[in-house]
């Protein structure tokens, strides 16, 4: 994976209207999370939670405004279900931005239909990144 961390953090910053004082959850192997963690902390994120798997999603989601899924391998089926996100969001009143950085979806697309959740699928992010490269060039 090319180093897209700066662009992804920029997208998160724009979506949330700033990262300072907010919290994030990164799910995936440590070596893939590392560049994102550094950039998010430099941007003033209050807390950055790091998990290898989505097993603690219901406990951590109420505390975060940003979720970044970075699985090591392309999942055959989404690793994060809409039911798991719905359970973790409960009575959420603030937006949750989810950035799925897998090659194919690692977050079930139905998640994008949940209230207060904005899901950026791998296809969405590829389109955004491609457009930003064209504008920069």
Does residue 133 belong to any structural domain of this protein? no
Q: Binning pLDDT at 50, 70 and 90, where does residue 128 land?
A: confident
Does residue 127 belong to any structural domain of this protein? no
Does residue 128 belong to any structural domain of this protein? no
Q: How many domains does the chain have?
A: 1
The predicted structure's pLDDT at residue 92 = 85
Does residue 93 belong to any structural domain of this protein? yes
pLDDT, tens only, 6-44: 999 999 999 999 999 999 999 999 999 999 999 999 999
Cα angle value 101/53/48 (rounded, 5°)? 70
Share of the chain above pLDDT 70, in %: 94
Q: At how many degrees (to 10) do helices 5-16 and 30-42 cross?
A: 50
Long-range pairs for 129-135 at CB < 8 Å and ≥24 separation? 129/4, 129/7, 132/7
Does residue 48 belong to any structural domain of this protein? yes
For the chain, what is the mean pLDDT? 90
Domain at 20, CATH number: 3.40.50.720
Does residue 51 belong to any structural domain of this protein? yes
d(CA 4, CA 122): 13
pLDDT, tens only, 49-69: 999 999 899 899 999 999 999
pLDDT, tens only, 34-53: 999 999 999 999 999 999 99
d(CA 111, CA 33): 22
Does residue 126 belong to any structural domain of this protein? no
pLDDT, tens only, 83-114: 999 999 888 888 999 999 998 899 999 999 99
The predicted structure's pLDDT at residue 34 = 94
Residue 53's nearest CA partner among 89, 88, 79 is 79
Does residue 131 belong to any structural domain of this protein? no
d(CA 97, CA 117): 6
d(CA 121, CA 70): 12
Domain that holds residue 42: 5-121
């Amino acid at each position: 994976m090319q180093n897209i961390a700066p662009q992804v953090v920029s997208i998160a910053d724009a979506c949330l209207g700033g990262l300072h004082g907010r919290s994030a959850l990164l799910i995936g192997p440590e070596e893939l999370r590392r560049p994102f963690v550094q950039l998010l902390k430099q941007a003033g994120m209050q807390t950055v939670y790091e998990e290898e798997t989505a097993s603690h999603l219901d406990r951590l989601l109420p505390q975060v405004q940003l979720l970044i899924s970075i699985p090591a391998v392309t999942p055959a089926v989404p690793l994060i279900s809409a039911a798991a996100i719905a359970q973790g969001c409960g009575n959420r009143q603030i937006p949750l931005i989810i950035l799925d950085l897998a090659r194919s979806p690692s977050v079930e697309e139905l998640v994008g239909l949940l209230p207060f959740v904005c899901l950026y699928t791998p296809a969405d992010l590829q389109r955004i990144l491609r457009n930003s490269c064209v504008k920069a060039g």
